[in-house]
Amino acid sequence: MSRAAITIRRMEPGDLPEVERIQTSSPEASQWKPEDYLHYESIVAELAGRIAGFAVARRLPPDEIEILNVATGPSSRRQGVGKALLRELLNLHEGVLFLEVRESNSAARALYEAAGFREAGRRKNYYAKAGIPAGLREDAVVMKLQK
């Protein structure tokens, strides 16, 4: 059985309602204002004519890139969307790439490790954890890829 083709393109203002829907349905993703993504390098993945996911990165001098967010809609997971988004970001950038991911997000961590990212450190008690009292937080795993 073949997979549907995934198309990657730049994020546009008209994409923001769908980007917000995906972000809201992905509590493990960073929850930023979607309109702010347009100030960075932002892309969307289309699958079967619908936006299935998005990714956002920013350039840091002199030759570093920070991946700020990657999210895939729940109905589009396990279909290669996250992998396609990450591959496009890697194709667009040379140098050192950084990202951070929730310690508990094992699917995302496996995706990043398969792409060559390695743990470079941790940010203790960085993320609020859904359903957990405000005083308890989850570590962020900082990952790095040298291209």
Quick check: is 18 catalytic?
no
Among the four given CATH numbers 3.40.50.20, 1.10.3210.10, 3.40.630.30, 3.30.70.2740, the one describing domain 6-146:
3.40.630.30
In the chain, where the domains are located: 6-146
The 96-102 sheet, strands edge to edge = 6-10, 41-47, 50-60, 64-72, 96-102, 137-146, 118-128
Tens-digit pLDDT profile for residues 81-131: 999 999 999 998 888 999 999 998 898 999 999 999 999 999 988 887 666
Catalytic residue selected from 18, 112, 127, 138: 112
Alpha-carbon distance of 71 to 116, in angstroms, equals 19
Quick check: is 35 catalytic?
no
pLDDT tops 90 at residue 76: no
Residue 74: exposure state from Cβ atoms within 10 A (0-12, 13-18, ≥19):
exposed
Pinpoint the alpha helices (H) of the chain.
16-24, 81-92, 106-114
**Which one is predicted more confidently, 36 or 74?**
36
